Amino acid sequence: MNLTEMKPPFIRGETSVASMMRDMLFALTLLLALPVVRYGPRPAVAAALTVLVCVLCELLFTLMQTKTTGLSDGSAAVTGMVVALLLPVNAPLWLPCAAGAFAIAAAKAPFGSTGRNPFNPAAAGLAFAAVCWPQLVFSYAATGSGPLPLFGDCAVQTAPSPAAVLKQGLPPNILPFEMLWGNFAGPAGATAVLVVAACGLYLFCKRVAQWEITACFLLVVIVIAALFPRAVFDPLSSVKYELLSGSVLFCSVFMVTDPVTSPHTTAARCVYGLLSGALVMAFRWFGAYEQGAVFAVLLSNAAAPVLDDLVFRFRGWGGELADA
Amino acid sequence: MQRGIKLEQHKAESLLHPVQELPDAAGLPPPKFFRAPKGRPDWEAVLRAAEEAEITDEFEDVPLAEKLRRMRRAGVSLALACCVDEDPYTTSAMAALREQTDGVIAGLALAARACGAKKSEIAVADRREKKEILRRSPEAKLVVAGTRYPARALLRRSLQAEGGKAAFVGAQACAALAAAVSRGEAQHDAIVTVAGSGVEIPRNVRVRIGTPLRHLLDFCGVHERTRLIVTGSSVTGRAVTDPSVPVTAATRCVIAMLRPPRYKTYACIGCGRCSRACPRGIVPWRIYQEMERSRPDPLKLLNARSCIDCASCSMICPSGLDLAAAVKRAAAIMESGDLH
């Protein structure tokens, strides 16, 4: 019998970073279904390309930093999927790839990869794309423009998204049913609100995402939308349009809940949710773009470690007092 | 908030069969006997009997007499016979209670007298086990500990929240104490669970203390290709590299694994699972973060000293970090008073 030495513990829980990322990827892949049905396989191709670029970037950086090819967890793939799903289906294929490359090469790998990045890489990549090519990032194909060409540019009729209409102070006038199933102009994966909500429930049940952040985030969005409608309509329809348009719900499930860049204590998480929700609405009111969710996420990322420190300061660095 | 961790349990198989006797290995001295105390022994007589019988508490690996004295000094009001195995493979404490229900009850009463506890109860794992024991001994006073790891610490936490001070005495130590007081018998055997992927049939075996581990492994038909053998517990136990070490009262289980488990480690992703799992309210990720610095600030090490070494944090960590070791190092820094 040839026995080995080992340190305890000899058993572990089933959840690992890799399994959490797999759950995340599964939920994100579900979001691809509706766009593929509506616009042909182009969204899937864009997502696959972006994931590939992100994974290659990460591989390159791990080779440079550690001289090994440990692809480790699937976090680069998750970043790629989020980036691809938040860009329009008719965007040229290089756009999500460029955003994904920036996300990994500038916002993630230089800081030491998963677990050490201070900012959400996907949000950074999208912010980069929004600043560099705003006309590409915010021009959405009109609904019913049919199957798009697989590769190459697609010259399709574009339509203003509900978020853009709201920005101009007009009511978007979309049927509630269409709104729920995401049959309107908008980012590829963020319009199908029902699917996003289902994915959110799945992630909360698997404890991959933190529900308290999402809850606080949506609470603030709802309160601000009800109190300050951007167009002339009653508070309830204001809440409806603000919640269902743009990428608010998608960000609340997939972006602000990222455990790495959000605070690690429950109290700080709630404050973080409130803060990012308020920032999203501030960007909608005062920002130059129709959607500022990614900028709001980046700003609140910066506040996350401070919020954690404040919580510990408040508790006197003693943590919860243990029973003798 | 539910603390602790839910672990997949592998207990059913080893509980199917009654405890088997391991034939004595050659060269072991015969069991010792001494003069049992006459009549109804007072608390000092019980302690003396525990000392003479050389009884060891199997959960803490300390002499029972010493432990009972400590409990007496601490003013424990509730003595609990621990018939719960926290480890998902081990069933030796459950088997001990099932085999010697009367012995455990009698021993617990003696232990409670020795440590001055007014109340005594038997901690069992779950409702089904409670029913099983009540069938054997209808007047036994039982309390359900639950199956979340670490069950002992969590039960103690909930009992102390109701007021009073609770402390555990091992099931096998209780049974040995009853035998020592009634028959003057020294503790000479222990029930050990042999389980894991390297064993065909997991089972509980009664082993003479001092038997070489190899003898037990051969008896249970442990596979030749076994690479890792763990004793004590699969969470906080020890890996054994030399199979000639003797079985002690605190061995409790021998887990043979064909393949040592391998875990990838990642950087902390800040999910907060460790602080939710901790039964003592420690925030392991924060301590780990502080210990990663070249000069950790002792004021930011929080309540590292209340750690009970249950290793829940290390077990639940999705990044595979050894948080328990970091907390231990932090506690050592605070203990040493070397704050710079």
Q: What is the mean pLDDT of residues A166-190?
A: 84
- Shared domain for B203 and B80, answered yes or no, is no
Alpha carbon distance A227, A236 (integer Å):
10
- Shared domain for B237 and B109, answered yes or no, is no
B241 burial level (CB within 10 Å; 0-12, 13-18, 19+): middle
Alpha carbon distance A6, A166 (integer Å):
61
Say if CB A182 and CB A34 are below 8 A apart: yes
- Nearest residue on chain B to A209, alpha-carbon basis: B271
pLDDT at B339 over 80: no
Across the A:B interface, residue pairs with CB atoms under 8 Å apart total 154
- Shared domain for B289 and B153, answered yes or no, is no
Task: Give A-chain residues touching B268 at CB under 8 angstroms.
Answer: 115
DSSP assignment letter at A185:
S
pLDDT at A11 over 60: yes
- Nearest residue on chain B to A12, alpha-carbon basis: B315
Question: Model confidence at A158, in pLDDT bands (50, 70, 90)?
Answer: confident
Structural tokens at position B289: 């973060």
Q: How many CB atoms lie within 10 A of CB A214?
A: 23
| Cβ distance of B266 and A317 shorter than 8 Å | no
The domain boundary residue, chosen from B257, B281, B305: B257
Alpha carbon distance A11, B262 (integer Å):
10
**Residue B109 placed within a domain:** yes
| Cβ distance of B271 and A20 shorter than 8 Å | yes
Can you tell me whether residue B271 is helix, strand or coil? Answer: coil
- Shared domain for B40 and B158, answered yes or no, is yes
Say if CB A122 and CB A305 are below 8 A apart: no
Phi, psi (deg, nearest 5) at residue B22: -90, 125
Query: What sign for the dihedral angle of Cα B83, B87, B92, B94?
Result: positive
pLDDT at A324 over 50: no
- Maximum pairwise Cα distance, chain B: 63
- Shared domain for B199 and B178, answered yes or no, is no
pLDDT tens figures, B160-204:
888 888 999 999 999 999 999 999 999 999 999 999 999 989 999
Find out whether the peptide bond into A9 is cis, omega within 30 degrees of 0: yes
| Cβ distance of A114 and B269 shorter than 8 Å | yes
The per-residue pLDDT for B229 is 93
Alpha carbon distance A312, A319 (integer Å):
7
**Residue B301 placed within a domain:** yes
Query: Which CA distances in Å does A166 have to A134, A177, B250?
Result: 18, 19, 70
> What residues form DSSP beta bridges with B239?
B230
> Pick from A214, A252, A255, A29: which is nearest to A126 by CA?
A255
Domain at B84, CATH number:
3.40.50.11540
Say if CB B192 and CB B216 are below 8 A apart: yes
**In this complex, is the C-beta atom of B260 within 8 Å of any C-beta atom belonging to chain A?**
yes
Alpha carbon distance B15, B19 (integer Å):
9
Question: Model confidence at B146, in pLDDT bands (50, 70, 90)?
Answer: confident
**In this complex, is the C-beta atom of B239 within 8 Å of any C-beta atom belonging to chain A?**
yes
| Parallel, antiparallel or unpaired: strands B20-21 and B189-195 | unpaired
**Residue B50 placed within a domain:** yes
- Shared domain for B106 and B83, answered yes or no, is yes
The per-residue pLDDT for B39 is 83
Q: Domains in chain B: how many in total?
A: 3
- Shared domain for B150 and B212, answered yes or no, is no
CA B223 to mean position of chain CA atoms: 26
CB-closest option in B227, B235, B239 to A11: B235
pLDDT at B111 over 90: yes
- Shared domain for B69 and B112, answered yes or no, is yes
The domain boundary residue, chosen from B205, B228, B257: B257
The per-residue pLDDT for A71 is 58
Q: Which of residues 69-128 of B touch A (CB under 8 A)?
A: 88
- Shared domain for B19 and B157, answered yes or no, is yes
Cα dihedral B45/B46/B47/B49 (nearest 10): 90
Task: Output the average pLDDT for chain B.
Answer: 90
Structural tokens at position A189: 């994966």
Task: Output the average pLDDT for chain A.
Answer: 88
> What residues form DSSP beta bridges with B208?
B189
> Pick from A286, A293, A213: which is nearest to A247 by CA?
A293
Amino acid at B283: V
pLDDT at B63 over 90: yes
End-to-end CA distance of chain A: 45
| Cβ distance of B266 and A114 shorter than 8 Å | yes
Q: Which of residues 152-211 of B touch A (CB under 8 A)?
A: 157, 160-161
> Radius of gyration over alpha carbons of chain A, in Å?
20
Domain at B249, CATH number:
3.10.20.600
**Residue B99 placed within a domain:** yes
pLDDT at A319 over 70: no
**Residue B26 placed within a domain:** yes
Distance from CA of B4 to the nearest CA of A (A): 12
Q: How many CB atoms lie within 10 A of CB B178?
A: 23
- Shared domain for B170 and B148, answered yes or no, is yes
**Residue B5 placed within a domain:** no
Phi, psi (deg, nearest 5) at residue B205: -125, 135
- Shared domain for B95 and B203, answered yes or no, is no
**Residue B262 placed within a domain:** no
What domains, with CATH codes, occur in chain A?
17-313 (1.10.3430)
The domain boundary residue, chosen from B183, B210, B242: B183
Question: Model confidence at B338, in pLDDT bands (50, 70, 90)?
Answer: low
Full residue range of the structural domain in which residue B145 is found: 12-183
The per-residue pLDDT for A322 is 39
- Shared domain for B179 and B196, answered yes or no, is no
pLDDT tens figures, A206-261:
989 989 999 999 999 999 999 998 888 888 888 988 888 878 999 999 999 999 99
**Residue B263 placed within a domain:** no
The per-residue pLDDT for A323 is 37
pLDDT tens figures, A116-130:
899 999 999 999 999
